[in-house]
Each structure stands twice: as C-alpha cells, then as structure tokens.
Structure 1
Amino acid sequence: MKPPPFTYHAPTTVGEALGVLAELGPEGKVLAGGQSLIPLLNMRLAVPPHLVDINRIPELAYVRVDAGGVRVGALARHAELERHAGAYQAVPLLRQALQLVAHPVIRNRGTTVGSIVHADPAAEMPAVLALLGGTVELARKDRRRTVGAADFFLGPLESCLEPGELALAVHFPRLPGRTGTAFVELARRHGDYALAGLAAAVTLDEDLRVAHARAAYVGVAPVPLVVDLTDAVRGVSAAGERSWTLAGRLAQSEVQPEADIHATAEYRRHLVGVLTARALHQAAQRALPEPGPDRTETTP
C-alpha cells in the first residue's frame, strides 16, 4: 500500500514549523515518529494535502528531569524515555508503561508526545498522562498554551489540538512520597493494543496503610478514564495479604466498555476487576520502604 499524494515540508526550527502550520491550517499534518500516521496514510484513512516533518528540529528532541517531574520534547523517542535513568527515578510509571508499548522497533522510532497527541483510548501513554495529571504544551505562530490532561482528550483519536498548532512537549509530574505505581494490561499478544488495562497509583500514610488510590483505564472508554478508588481501599495495609477485589468492583461500576471483534463488553468489564486488583497490589508493594528487587517488568 502507498500513501496518497501530499506536499512535503521539512522545517528546521520551531519558528519555521509554526509558520508553515499557520499557513497550511487544517490541511497540514505533523509527522514526528510516524508509527500511527504512516499506517493511516497507507490505508488511506488519512489524506492530508500537506505533511510537515519536524524531525529536523533538534531542539525538540529531549528528556529533562527537574524537581517537578519529567518534561519530554516532541521528538524524544519512546525508547529514549524508557531507558532514561533520571526519568525512571522521578516517575517510575513511565518505564512501567513504556515496556508495554508495541515492540522495541516501534519504540525506537515512535515518540511519546506523538502517542499522546494521537489520543488513542487503547494506548498506554495517554493513560499515564491522565493519571499523573500531566500537561501538554501547545504552540502556534502567535501564542502558546498549556492544557491539562483532563481537558486535552476529547474522544477517540481526538484531542483539543487546533489546526495550525504544534505539540512541543508533555510534562509528567512527580507523585508524592510513599506512592507506588504500576501498569498492567491484557492483550492477545505482547505489543498488541490491550483489551483492557490501567495505570495505578497508591499512596500510603505514615502507618503504611492506603491513604489514596486511583487508576486510569485504557480500552474501556472513549478517552483515558481516571477513577478514584480510595473509598474501596482506604486503610488497607500495604504489607498485608488483603484482597483488592473491592476496588476492582468499584472500577467495574465506573466503566462502560464496548464490544468489538476482539472481546465482549462483559469480558472487558471482567478484566477491569481482575487487573485493578492486580495493579493496586503491585503499586502498594512498590510504595513500601525498601521494596526489594525492582519489579517493573512484571506483566499479567
């Protein structure tokens, strides 16, 4: 399959890219990693008259860690962020989720910002941004704005990105102390989109009991669905063996999955319950002091 004809643009600075996008308006489509866009072009599901390739703008290729969290530029590849020791130390959920994104060859080329802008409700990184309450930095020729995750995702494959705008970076905030995280999902094959999955965060109090728990779900709603699960698990001892099934039941009552050729709605709801209990248990264990060997590669 071959893509439809288009006019190719290759700006070398952010200013030049914003100028091109301002001129093209809705007829311009940005190319970064291309791991979602190229298949859409080849299948003629997207037919933009103009393609704006930003890969020649080195100032967008960065991962920066500071006291507030991790900032990821528009050209930082999944693999770079996954291997970044500072990013893992600041926000371990990034690596926990990225290990489940597609396959290594795709992570070597695909960009984290591109995945978030693509706004696929079955993708991992939008859920991470939603759970952490992260932000997206958007720019156009005449202004810049920062949008929170809760307002960024509008629907399946739809974000608040306007014609002429370029997503420059995303920011993933640090979580408070005594907080552990986990990302679990179930897919037909490793690397496929998940039938259902979630990013989870559990914060413990001084007595190492659950003070707060929340999760962001993929594959069961039109956008990443964030659910506060605290009421179901408040006061649970992270060091104990208590079941987390009450939180799973609460999550099941909040989701409204749809059936497709891969799974029924009932099966997806069942997975939500099972995976929620599993993810919260993992996250709580990682919130404990001296949690022992790293378990970020654990998968369902």
Structure 2
Amino acid sequence: MLVNRLNLALLFALTSTTTLAATDNAYQHDAGIVYASSSEEFSDGTWNANYRYYLTPVSQDTVPYALSGFLAQTSNLGANYAGFEGDLDAYGVNGQYVFASKWFVGANYQNLGANLFDSDTYGVSMGYYFNSTSSVYLGYTKSDQDYDIGFGAKASADLDTFTLGIRSFLPLETTAGVDLTAQLFFGQSDYSVKNTPYGGDMSNSDDTTALMLSADWYLTRAWSGGANYSVQEETDSYAINTAYHLRLTDSFSAIARASKSFEPDEDGVFLSLGINGRF
C-alpha cells in the first residue's frame, strides 16, 4: 500500500506541475530518486536513489541535460541505493578522477543482497577523453556471488569481465545531437556447487563475448529517442526508448523514460519516473 501511495504521489508531481522558465545554473551536486517498473505490473517496481558530487562546477546551459555530467569531463564521486521486491536491495559507490591531460581512472563497488543470496562486485577502469565530447576506455570487473540453494547445498560464482568501450556525442545544427556508444565485453565465469542434494560437488566454467551498440538522438536538450542492440554468441536483443527531462525550477527537474524490448519480446513497456535535483 505504501508503494502504491508513493507511486501516485510521484505521478501527481510529474503531471500537475506547470513548466517554469527555469535557469540552467551550473551545479556540483546531482541527486535523484527514480521509480522503475513494467507497465504490465507497475506497482511491482524498483526504487532507486542516487547522488553524485563533481569536484568542479558542471555547465548545463548549452548541452542535453542528461549528458551534462559526461560532457563536463571532470572528477566526480557517486553513491546509489536500490530496493527491489522480495527483500532484495543493492547499494554501491563509484568515482572517477580526471587528470589535466584528459586521461582518467575510475573505481566502483556494488553489493546486491537478499536472505539467500549475496553478490559483491569490484571494478576499475581507465580511459582518455580524446576530444571535448568523446572518450575511449578499458574496464575490468570482478563479481563474487554466493547462493544458499537449500538442503545444505551452497553455490558460488566468480565472474571476471573486461570491457572495451567508446562513447561520442555528435552535436548537430538542427537538433541537439546524437550520443553514440559501442562496448565489447569479454567474460569468464566459474561456477561451483558444494554438498549437492545428489552428493558430491559440481563445477563448471564458461567464456562469453558480447557486443553492445546504442544511439540516442537528442531532438532538443530535453527530449531524446534512441535504440540499442546487443549480440552475445548467437543470441541478439534490441529495443527502443524515449526520455524527457522537464525543468520545474532552477534546481529541480522531472525525468520520464520509456523503453520497449522487441527481442526478447516482452509484454508491455518499461517505464521510469523520477525527480532530479541539481545545485
């Protein structure tokens, strides 16, 4: 019941506020709360709270609002928390330091936990801003997962992933521009089960390679439409999305996003609604 009331309050805030002539001030603090769910079962969604601090002020008066942090190319530190159905929650911290030469390094930690499951993920990255709107980067993450599968059996998984990526925003004359991303993933997974119900232990290893491509066209600084495509071995997936950043006051905005997956074919539309504060 509490979740339903919070959903209604957020929807009312998004739909009842008259657009104001907000000033696009520079900011160093970026905080938000987002509710995300499927249109098929909107009450069974996820709450996510996030905060990011930038060491130098970030300008947002000429670029798409959603991309101002990326385009600032400045050092930052962030934290997030998400609550899921079934007593599952996640929290994490991450940061990036940008040198004067425009090389950067980053690190992150994420925990996902429930009564019978716990996962810790650690990551590091390094990259280079090769022009004022583009970067190339290499990342590594290690995830340790533990499961209690009942009857005294314990399962664990060790996942190692390398990522090679490039991202570039291309400004256009008639619209704000296009944000392009390409990422190549190389992963190795080791699984094991101890004290199986059938007796003894089991183990398995697997290697995967995946490619993900995405493009978001910003028709205005506030409104975008995009698509993404990924392929892993012989399995591919693709979806489309649209998002709108509604300025409410000098410090607060409402953000709405909708996406539709066609492969795998899923019923309904995935929706997210949020309030963002920048100051």
TM-score under structure 1 length normalisation: 0.26
TM-score under structure 2 length normalisation: 0.27
**Which has the larger helix fraction?**
1
**Which has the larger strand fraction?**
2
Structure ID, larger Rg:
2
